[in-house]
Amino acid sequence: MKVKTRSILTAGALATTAALVLAGCAGGADDSGDAAATSTLTVWVDAERVDALKDAAAAYQDKTGVEVDLVSKDVAKIKDDFIQQAPTGKGPDIVMGAHDWLGELVTNGVVAPIELSDKEGDFLEVAYKAATYDGNQYLLPYAVENLALLRNADLVPEAASSFDDMIAKGTAAGVELPFVVEQGAEGNPYHLYPFQTAFGAPVFGSNEGGYDATDLQLGNAGGEQFAQWLAAQGVAGTLSTEITGDIAKEKFTAGQAAFWLTGPWNVGAAVDAGINVEVDVIASPGPEAAQPFAGVKGFLLSETSKNKVAANDFLVNYLATEDVQTALYESGNILPALAASAEAASSDPIVGGFAAVGAEAVPMPAVPAMGSVWQFWGIAEAAIIDGADPVTIWQKLATDVQGAIG
Amino acid sequence: MSTLTDDEVTESESLPPTKRQRQAARLAEHASIGVRALLVKILLLGIVDAIAVWALFILVMKEQWVIGAIVLVVTLLANWIYFSPGKLPAKYLTPGVIFLVVFQIFVIVYTGYIGFTNYSTGHNSDKEQAVSALISSAQERVPDSPTYGVTVVENLEGLGVLVTDPDGDVSVGKPDSPLEPVRNATMDGGKAVAADGYTSLSFQQILTRQNEISSLSVPFSDDPNDGSLRTPDGQTGYLYTSSLVYDQAADTMTDTATGTVYTDQGTGAFTSADGEEMLPGWRINVGFDNFTRAFSEESIRDPLVNVIIWTIVFALISVASTFFLGLFLAIVFNDMRMKGRKFYRVLMILPYAFPAFLSALVWSGMLSESFGFVNQVVLGGAEIPWLTDPFLAKVSILMVNLWLGFPYMFLVCTGALQSIPDDVLEAAKMDGAKPWAIFRLIKLPLLLVSLAPLLISSFAFNFNNFNLIYMLTGGGPRDPLAGVNVGATDILISMVYKVAFTGQARDYGLASAFSIIIFIIVATISIIAFRRTKMLEELN
């Protein structure tokens, strides 16, 4: 009797297993069946923009029947995951990214060029330039980000005309710090770059194909002047490696700093803290205008995508339209890359302020050699601010970078 | 509790084996007979099998034969183990072994494998993909060439394009025959959409044949210098010329502008005669190159040696300092004369209760030179460069790690101290031993027997204490004149992180080689230390 029960149970076991197995089978068949019948574009998007793209994706599906599968990814991991997964053929068809990734992505052979063709002129010049790497366009830009000078208008009612004027105005306002800019123990060359360009010292020279990595301009005479200026600011205390991003934010939002050199990502915090924020052109300490780096965000096409035609169509004929660019702007509040959307968005005084500064901005170099530059640049600047001999350190920086580029 | 088990064991051992066997058999039957247990087993195995079949289905679709075979074998094995009677040890071990293989052994083997390749920026995939990426990025649009309206068409010979140029002239072409004018084409909004003798593809049809269309290239004329027409989106076309030509037979890339020939010299990239590499390249096996580089290339060797020394010093001092502070406090709080011991003990555990990750971050703020709590409040405005002076940064790291680590040592020492039988200490006292002698000759050796393995594992943990270094100093401060991206407080694991995951020039191969070096160092030290521990046990 006992044995019988057991054998029945065993038979039941096998039957249940088989049933579950078949269920699994059926599920699998359904999934792959769908994938084969219509084409699906997999798009990796940073988590903040998923909602903005949802409508665009649905509208595109209605129009063409191509399903757009938006995958929300952690911003910090998108690039690495993409580089690792694209070669296996399992990565996305389209990925959201920044133009300064281009060097690394192209060197790894994971992105394919796209053809903006007649739409070139529809984009802001800086966005279009940044989308080009080594003579090819790889990026469909959707937003431009650059630094600008935030001013606490309750403390200082008028914009500053130069760096010294800014410090004077800030000091006259009687707050703890006239001016803050994010640095830190390892320096922050991105935030100091406007001041560096004011002395006429870009990182690389440029030619018609974009930046020329073989022409390092960092160590020129203007670079040395900038280094000496940095040392003087370190002594005067207007720049300090003690000011990290958090401290800068805290001081400005608490009304203890009159000016803050930062990007659009921090404006929300200042406005929320009740500061009367005005966005000014960056006050120049040198003979030339202070040009910040522009970071251009956009969409990239995977080299290993099996849906290149649909992906190209989605990118060039759809994401480059004013409606979609405006929707993306509304979700993130940074300046759209499409000129028409940018113009509309600039009616907002803050976005307009950043746009005005952005007109002067230069694209951040995307050449892979930049990796070697960043590695030494901040450390050298931090050392100079902290009191090391400016000319020695600056020349050592130029030599190290030249050596690393090879 | 423990005595009870001992008694049972002795009892059953003293009985004849036949009874024990019978007992065991009865027990086993009892266990296997539970209907509910059997049902749960069926359900669980069913779920496992369903997942396995689903995975198999996908793997077969993607033609991943090896992984598919492994999944199949493992699933069959699991079913066989759980559906056949007996095999009790296998039933207990199987899940653990599977997880061990997936999460530990695979990772270790894979890291080892990467350590012997040139996997790095520019050597990211296989040769086939490198070639296709090079060819695709070498396509350059002919300067000032117009945008053409394109309709993808098909006849018996295959796909072609129906092209409308900006003047409204229509032509048709195929990959093997250049564009030639067409008359009587059907126009729609200024663009030719159909021509006699050809079937036009709808957008849906284009989508199902995307690979063919994205590689479709139609010569503009008989002269190859005029370029060829390609259509990235199936609706518009542009003229491209290629600056690179791949010769499959000779396996060479030729730059059409300069005439330079790049060949595959077995270095994982097409290389010209004067040694210029064309990137992207591909992954190859480089044998012991990464290890040789680690110890022979001056720019890597010098920092590596410094980092190894600091890592060992850091781990040893961290273990020693936390152990002795923990032990001291454990002895103090173990003394019956101490009042409020419970309160103090809870207080001691606090640093242990916070995630170390967060504590390190908070400490880095508190040690900031001119804004930190330590300088501002505790030291009354002193400007001590806790984290920016190379020596002080090392001291700060050790102090913070002491703060983070002593509660653990305090806990284990308290436990071990309480397990030392009082009569041993009593006897020592009766023999006239002084407290220091009791501690040195009796308590410490007895403690070490049980704590030595913990100290060794604590050493191994601190050896790879990435969180602390990364959150507190980020490996800095760096010497601006050093010329390498390694700071004064970098330990091996943070150096590996910098090599593999920061900047744009990443070198996974070198980082994996470093990981293997770390493994060898930790393993060697642990083996030596465990040998010593054994000697300690024999002493006892």
Say what the ipTM of the complex is.
Answer: 0.73
pLDDT number for residue A21? 47
Closest CA to B127 of B31, B265, B296, B275: B265
Question: Which one of A7, A17, A180 makes the best mutation probe of the B interface by having the most chain B beta carbons within 10 Å?
Answer: A17
Q: What is the pLDDT of residue B26?
A: 66
Which chain B residue has the Cα nearest residue A35? B208
Q: How far apart are CA B94 and CA B362, in angstroms?
A: 43
Neighbour-count burial for B337-360, b at 16+ CB within 10 Å, e otherwise: eeeeeeeebeebeebbeeebeebb
Contact between chains at A375 and B485 (C-beta distance less than 8 A): yes
Residues of chain A with Cβ-Cβ distance to B126 below 8 Å are 87
| H or E element in which residue A210 lies | strand A210-216
Assigned token pair, B371: 């804004």
- For residue A22, what pLDDT is reported? 45
Compute the distance between CA of residue A5 and CA of residue A274 in angstroms, rounded to an integer: 76
Q: What is the pLDDT of residue A38?
A: 62
| Chain A: closest CA distance from residue B447 (Å) | 43
Q: How far is CA B66 from CA B37, B56, B69, B73, in A?
A: 35, 11, 5, 11
By the 10 Å C-beta count (0-12 exposed, 13-18 middle, 19+ buried), B111 is classed as middle
Sort out which chain B residues have CB atoms less than 8 A from A375's CB and list them: 485, 503
- As given in the structure block, the two tokens for residue B115 are 């350590």
The minimal CB distance from B232 to the residues A16, A104, A312 is found for A312
Among B473, B504, B506, B507, which would you mutate to test the A interface (most chain A Cβ atoms within 10 Å of its Cβ)? B504
Q: How far apart are CA B245 and CA B253, in angstroms?
A: 6
Beta strands (DSSP E) in B195-264 are: 199-200, 218-219, 228-230, 236-242, 244-247, 252-255, 261-264
Please give the Cα distance from A35 to A376 (Å, whole number). 48
Residue of B nearest to A115 (CA): B232
Residues 172-231 of A with CB under 8 A from B: 185-186
Q: How many helices (H) and strands (E) does chain B have?
A: 21, 16
What pLDDT score was predicted for residue B37?
A: 79
Residues of chain A with Cβ-Cβ distance to B121 below 8 Å are 104, 107-108, 368
Flag whether residue B131 sits within 8 Å of chain A, measured between CB atoms. no
**B318 in Cβ contact with B398 (< 8 Å):** yes
What phi, psi does A199 have (nearest 5°)? -100, 10
DSSP helix/strand/coil, B294: helix
Q: What is the number of alpha carbons within 13 Å of residue A74 lying toward its C-beta?
A: 4
Q: Does the CB of A17 have a partner CB in chain B at under 8 Å? A: yes
pLDDT of residue A258: 94
Distances (CA, A) of A118 to A154, A322, B240, B242, B414: 46, 15, 15, 21, 76
- pLDDT for the residue A292: 93
> A135 CB near a chain B CB, below 8 Å?
yes
B124 touches chain A (CB under 8 A): yes
- Predicted confidence at residue A149, as pLDDT, reads 94
Given an 8 Å threshold on Cβ–Cβ distance, is B125 in contact with A108?
Answer: yes
* Nearest-CB residue to B233 (from A303, A313, A370): A313
Chain A nearest CA to B482, separation (Å): 9
Q: E-strand spans in B279-420?
A: none
Report the distance separating Cα B134 and Cα B140, nearest Å.
12
Contacts of A43 by beta carbon, 8 Å cutoff, 6+ apart: A53, A57, A68, A69, A70, A71, A92, A93, A94, A95, A96, A299
Check residue B540 and give its pLDDT.
53
- Give the model's pLDDT for residue A10: 52
Asked if A310 reaches chain B (Cβ–Cβ under 8 Å), the answer is yes
Contact call for B232 and A368, based on CB within 8 A: no
* Cα distance between residue A96 and residue A73, in whole Å: 10
Q: Residue A34: in which H helix or E strand, if any?
A: helix A2-37
Q: Which of A305, A306, A303 is nearest to A109 (CA)?
A: A303
Parts of chain B with a pLDDT under 50: 1-14
Q: What is the pLDDT along chain A (406 residues), one digit of tens a residue?
A: 444 445 544 555 555 555 544 444 444 333 333 334 468 889 999 888 888 888 888 888 888 888 899 999 888 889 888 988 888 877 899 999 999 889 889 988 899 999 887 788 889 888 888 888 888 889 999 999 999 999 999 999 999 999 999 999 999 998 999 999 999 888 899 999 999 999 988 888 887 767 887 888 888 899 999 999 999 999 998 999 889 898 999 999 999 999 999 998 899 899 999 999 999 999 999 899 999 999 999 999 999 888 888 999 999 888 888 888 888 888 777 889 999 998 888 888 999 999 999 888 888 988 877 877 887 898 899 999 988 899 999 998 988 888 877 6
CA-closest candidate to residue A265, choices A143, A368, A166: A143
Least Cα separation, residue A48 to chain B (angstroms): 24
Tell me which DSSP letter residue A90 carries. -
| pLDDT value of residue A11 | 52
**pLDDT for the residue numbered A4:** 46
- Exposed, middle or buried, B225 (CB in 10 Å: 0-12/13-18/19+)? exposed
- Is B389 near chain A, with CB under 8 Å? no
pTM, full prediction: 0.78
Dist CA B454 CA B409 (whole Å): 9
pLDDT at A259: 95
Cα separation, B484 vs B475, in Å, equals 12
Give me the total of CB pairs closer than 8 Å, taking one residue from chain A and one from chain B: 195
Nearest to B49 among A17, A110, A136 (CB): A17
**Partner residue opposite B124 with nearest CB, options A17, A23, A108:** A108
Secondary structure (DSSP) of B65-133: HHHHHHHHHHHHHHHHHHHSS--HHHHHHHHHHHHHIIIIIHHHHHHHHHTTB--BTTB-B-HHHHHHH
The verdict on a CB contact (< 8 Å) between B369 and A376 is no
